[in-house]
Amino acid sequence: MELLLSRDAQRNLSRMPAAVRINLIARLKALAADPAGLKERRHASVKDFGAGLYRLRVSKWRAVFRVRGDEMMVTRDRQTRGCVPMSRQSPVKVSLAPGTTAHGHATKRTAGSALMSAPRSRKPSGGATVTLSRADYEALVEAAEDRFDLARHRAIMREAKPSDFIPIEVVEARLAGDNLLRAWRKKRGLTLVALAAASGLSHAFLSLLENGKKEATTTTLKKLAAALKIEPGDLI
């Protein structure tokens, strides 16, 4: 499958620690190369939401992606916040205002709710402390993350254009500071001669652009973008 990243996902990649970014990209590439493994749920760090939508966890980061046809589209990568280290085994105490859950929502008295069954102790201030098992607390955190990630994914997909998803090869070139014209040309499978013919620019001029010896004008960017079927801004 072709691995594509939304502009939102690209921005977050640039903010990650380098080691985490390299690991996350490698894991996403491995998943894109093994679509059968996703369907057969062979990857323990991947959650299947159904309908081709998945979430990958790497360290404290998580990436949401959709598999559609021969494309794997990463819409969102985000750092997990507020999670308790899994290695600790003690119970978790969560301070609540009256009538709220651990995530600030109105309390719902649902059958079998771990929150409702947890013992409470009143504080003089009128708040409450709920003691949960670590498993129950982690389940609450994951449920909140699920809601957030799915809502954000849907919002990105509603607003996104096809050109908003960039191939991983170009994303890596941008992160490394490499020439984006060369990265796009190679991704499109074009030689300098072929791109020159398609854009109406000379082979020699394109070579100078790729080697950083010339700068492209707005008109040149538009010609190259049209030939590569991308937005002019994708070359900057």
Give domain limits for the chain: 2-82+141-170, 92-132, 179-235
Between 3.40.50.970, 1.10.260.40, 3.40.50.10380, 3.40.50.150, what CATH number should domain 179-235 receive? 1.10.260.40
pLDDT score of 187: 96
For residues 7-12, give the mean pLDDT: 90
> What confidence tens digit (pLDDT) does each residue in 136-181 have?
888 998 999 999 999 999 999 999 888 899 999 999 999 999 999 9
> What confidence tens digit (pLDDT) does each residue in 100-129 have?
444 444 333 333 333 333 444 445 455 677
> What pTM was estimated for this model as a whole?
0.76
Give the DSSP H or E segment for 54: strand 53-58
Closest CA to 43 of 25, 57, 53: 57
Q: Does position 95 have pLDDT exceeding 60, yes or no?
A: no
What would the two tokens of residue 146 be? 């699920």
pLDDT score of 39: 82
In this structure, which amino acid lies at residue 232?
P
Predicted confidence band of residue 90 (pLDDT cuts 50, 70, 90)? low
Q: Does position 77 have pLDDT exceeding 80, yes or no?
A: no
What would the two tokens of residue 135 be? 């498993």
Q: Is 48 helix (H, G, I), strand (E, B) or coil?
A: strand
* Angle at 144 (CA atoms; ends 142, 148), nearest 5 degrees: 115
CATH dotted code for 2-82+141-170? 3.30.2310.20
Closest CA to 76 of 61, 64, 60, 58: 64
Distance CA 87, CA 96 (A): 25
Distance CA 136, CA 114 (A): 6
Mean pLDDT estimate for the chain: 83
Distance CA 190, CA 169 (A): 15
pLDDT score of 125: 55
For residues 53-73, give the mean pLDDT: 92
